[in-house]
Amino acid sequence: MGMDFSTLRTLISRYCAGEENWVDSRTIYIGHKEPPPGTEAFIQQRFPDNRIVSSKYTFWNFIPKNLFEQFRRVANFYFLIIFLVQLIIDTPTSPITSGLPLFFVITVTAIKQGYEDWLRHKADNAVNRCPVHVVQHGKIVRKQSRKLRVGDVVLVKEDESFPCDLVLLSTSRDDGTCYVTTASLDGESSHKTYYAVQDTKAYNTEKEVDAIHATIECEQPQPDLYKFVGRINVYMGNESVARPLGSENLLLRGATLKNTSYIYAVAIYSGMETKMALNYQSKSQKRSAVEKSMNAYLLVYLCILISKAIINTALKYVWQADPNRDEPWYNHRTETERQRHVLIRAFTDFLAFMVLFNYIIPVSMYVTVEMQKFLGSYFIMWDDEMMDEELGERAVVNTSDLNEELGQVEYVFTDKTGTLTENNMEFIECCVDGHVYVPQVICNGQVLPDAVGMDMIDTSPGPDAREREELFFRALCLCHTVQVKEEETVDGIKHGIHQGKSTSFYISSSPDEVALVEGMKRLGFTYLRLKDGQMEILNREDEIEKFELLEVLTFDSVRRRMSVIVKANTGELYLFCKGADSSIFPRVVSGKVDQIRARVEQNAVEGLRTLCVAYRHLSPEQYEEVCHLLSDAKLALQDRDRRLAEAYDLIEKDLILLGATAVEDRLQEKAADTIESLHKAGMKVWVLTGDKMETAAATCYASKLFRRSTQILELTTKRTEEQSLHDVLFDLSRTVLRQHGDMTRDTFSSFSGDCTDYGLIIDGATLSAVMRPNQDDLNSGNYKEIFLEICRNCSAVLCCRMAPLQKAQIVKLIKASKEHPITLAVGDGANDVSMILEAHVGIGIMGKEGRQAVRNSDYAVPKFKHLKKMLLVHGHYYYIRISELVQYFFYKNVCFIFPQFLYQFFCGFSQQPLYDTAYLTLYNISFTSLPILLYSLIEQHINMDILKKDPTLYRDISKNSLLRWPIFIYWTILGVYDAIVMFFGAYFLFDNTTFTSNGQMFGNWTFGTLVFTVLVFTVTFKLALDTHYWTWINHFVIWGSLIFFVVFSLLWGGIIWPFLNYQRMYYVFMQMLSSGPAWLSIILLITASLLPDVLKKVIWRSLWPTTTERIQSADKLYEGQLSEFTPLASLHGPPKARTSDPQRNGSNPRRSEPFNKKVMITRWKQKPDYCTFTPLVRFTDGARHSKQGYTYSGAGSETSV
């Protein structure tokens, strides 16, 4: 009876609405075994199979689903409606004229999307049919991966990937650990350590593993790769033991087993519920400014189209008011037509005119734009200058839809570590109780030759200090998660630990930790290994010391610290803690805090990354209390993270400060040059980092974000503690506005020397206060506006101590400001993903913090320096090309359809088409499409070297300047003018009765063909006149398309085609070309059409040339060698007054000025040890030996980096 109630209780708890246990957790029975009677009810839950589906379509739903998606596009849907109208009512043009281009567009897009989806199906099948080994009834059974079920026990061997998310039960290692690489998940190639369940790690054979009787309770699937909460109940007879499960026990699908022969693990999440699959979710669609302009222009042309149809319909009924015109003798109406209501007739006529003029909306423009973006993106991927030889990586394009947006960037938001810097940490120094220690630079006990004449710093601490120093070194050798790669095979011979000396190397997910452990090795304390729960270190006397590792309190970005609890051979218990100064100092009760704080601040100002180290003795009673706190928190299924954080908070207190470390993260090559170029291009650069203010500020000076002349404004917690946030904001606002007055951002961004250059520093806490002000503060409503106003008038902004979400908030704030600027975010780590997704354009750096940023970005580059060419060259070209493409498409369609509109005035508004059906259909598909597509792929209006050399040219195209309304109106007026010249020119030439050689008179189809011939030649020549970069491909395509038109017209009119019911174009084209006056008309009309545009360009270039036009003219003068011979500054407009500033190009002394080296002598042994320290960051090989360094050859003064 008790069993029945237990079953009922379990059912209610699992299935009742609102019950948290059912919503938040799942129960897995290992090996599908029922739990022992009386423990809990056996309710087998249903889970999905292990099939991975990344494809979008199936064989059955491809056609309807793809058509639905394509017709959601406004242009496609519009042409579908036009096509249906042509089918339903009697229209002047054949349905083929709309149907064929639409069918072509839909088919090409469907084939492209279908092919991409077929590749996804292929990849899915390869994964789903992969063999896996499952333990069943004590034997190993081979299955396909898709048939794996939750609860199956899986055997995975070395170098195999995990088929689903697994909980580790046992491994081939005695200590129950295994090593895993997660490169396919987050790009980190380092070996991570995972741990088997304590009670099952001894089971190493199939039969033993099959005998395991246990259930797992864990959270429902969620996408966070680094979070897992669960517990395992292991049944020993009728007793059950509960153990916590965390992310250290969870092996993720896609990760690979390394340095471990085999493991046994149980499947807990399968198929589309694995963490990898949950991270497949698609990003929100980003739309470029050009696409928005296209849609706006499309609406204007749609209004023009409707207006034309309404005007023609109205005039038709005015014309037909006269009965003789309404029903001429040769065209009597039927009885049905007479009885039809006038409104229905008017509506039918309106639709007929809509069909006749619908070609003003260019459906093929969308296809051409898509092809241009798709093919154009390969130029980034093929660019050898954007390839990194060291990484062997090229630039990657994940989204080709935003190519032109690279030419419109106004704000650049960049991460610091790994983006501006190399994320290649080098241990510089450590400070213990005020004594500074640096790595040894000695050779056989002799000071190196370059140490002669250096400043000598003598530090001779007493015996107590010696003990504290060694405790500090031990703390750094023990407080970490570094792994030792003990064996390395070289030429088939294994090398490893030899005679107690470590010849191994260190691996960690954090480069800081490796730098610290290697630094300790250079100072005499070597971390050897973690074996059987014992951490071994080699001290200065070459003795191996062993410490039992009891607990690891892992690092997290909220606490900003990590701790370990170890037990020495003497039985003493220590808690060692290391972390950011802001998280350690408040928890310290003793130690030389002031001296260490001063050293930390000095190092931070010099741009070094600092960490503080502290410790605490634990009594056995205190340790028992710690164990109790941690086990309670770890076993919790609900709010485990919060409870662990509370437990860590209680444990990491009453610390004794030992010292601090300084690690250097060098600037990336040409980072300063890149930032300076972006500034000159008119972009505002913001650095968003989690680092402390002093370190980040030093990096900003070194990278030329801040200059020595920059006046720094601080909006930090320290300042808001002294004044209210309201007062600080208004003070800063008054400061910047008093200087700049009503200056526009454009004026200010030129950084003229007669105004102060401001830089703003804000921290995360103050930013939170600005974004979410106190509700009680009546003046809080406009904090964001004031903050934005301050930022607008600053040349650069540094945001430090930022959480990942705050980075995205900053980007969103700027995006939503009244100017709606185009933003670009660049970062290399998982913490930058939110900012990358939020910005208009997201760029990932292929750094050392994994590949998450790269996977979520729109574009990825190997190094920060490649951003310069991507924006200033590729972005510039893409924008120039696509803006010409869009304007040209609308122009050539106005030229095409406006004569048709004028023709209605001369044919009694009878909806008679001016052009033949073949011409209507092929105008946009064949005759005029290829030249503009090629132009939009290879046009270079200015030499590539000049664009790199003179970043200010980027400003000529900023703010969507080539797609503004005045330029759009100019192109439209030009199209209307050309159409009027073509139509009335041909009309007046026909008015003088023109005869062929045999005296035959021209008819209406000859008239239409003459206009169409002039049209095709005019729009093609217009594009040829706009082309600056000529290659054999341009010549082939432009002149080839004209030849194709002539050849097609000759064939179309010269052959009697059997599939045509009537052939109205028979011999029309040949007859027209046989007439001398027709040839003269064509030449005169083409010249008259093109002349105003040519004159306008000549006059404008002579009187009001832009910088771009000056450089184009000079480049032609120097025959393309401008970039080598001419100072570009001379080609700009009148120069602005600049005040000379000798320190303008200065950077942080630590990074660019030579220092005297310091030598420290430490008297521990008979012979002195000499340690040299070179506090100098070198950016290039040239800078190592001379003060010249790398010189940026841009416009204006040279800048040494």
Catalytic residues: 415
Yes or no: say if 758 and 795 are a contact pair by the CB < 8 Å rule.
Answer: yes
The number of beta carbons lying within 10 Å of the beta carbon of residue 69 is 15
Q: Three-class SS string for 124-185?
A: HHHHHCCEEEEEECCEEEEEEHHHCCCCCEEEEECCCECCCEEEEEEECCCCCEEEEECHHH
CA distance 762 to 800: 6
Residue with tokens 């567009």: 105
Sign of the CA dihedral running 771, 776, 777, 782: positive
Helices (H) and strands (E) in the chain, counts: 43, 43
Residue with tokens 């951002």: 745
Yes or no: say if 740 and 754 are a contact pair by the CB < 8 Å rule.
Answer: no
Distance of CA 116 to the CA centre of its chain: 22
φ/ψ region of 510 (left if φ > 0, alpha if ψ in -120 to 50, else beta) reads beta
What is the per-residue DSSP string for 272-305? Answer: GGSHHHHTTPPPPPP--HHHHHHHHHHHHHHHHH
**Residue 624: CB partners within 8 Å, gap ≥ 6?**
none
Half-sphere exposure of 713 (CA within 13 A, CB side): 23
Task: Give the chain's length.
Answer: 1201
For the chain, report the end-to-end CA distance as a whole number of angstroms: 83
CA distance 1073 to 1050: 10
276 burial (CB, 10 Å; 0-12 / 13-18 / 19+) is: buried
CA distance 687 to 417: 10
Q: Three-class SS string for 88-113?
A: HCCCCCCCHHHHHHHHHHHHHHHHHH
Nearest residue to 478 via CA among 534, 556, 523, 541: 534
Beta bridge mates, 193: 179
Q: At what angle do helices 876-903 and 965-991 cross, to 10 degrees?
A: 40
φ/ψ region of 167 (left if φ > 0, alpha if ψ in -120 to 50, else beta) reads beta
CA distance 17 to 21: 10
Separation in Å, CA 1054 to CA 999, 1067, 1068: 20, 5, 8
Task: Give the amino acid at 888.
Answer: Y
Beta bridge mates, 660: 431, 612
CA distance 828 to 826: 7
CA dihedral 47, 260, 234, 50 (to 10 degrees): 10
Distance of CA 206 to the CA centre of its chain: 46
φ/ψ region of 10 (left if φ > 0, alpha if ψ in -120 to 50, else beta) reads alpha
Which of the 8 DSSP states describes residue 501? Answer: B
φ/ψ region of 138 (left if φ > 0, alpha if ψ in -120 to 50, else beta) reads left
CA distance 231 to 408: 52
The number of beta carbons lying within 10 Å of the beta carbon of residue 867 is 27
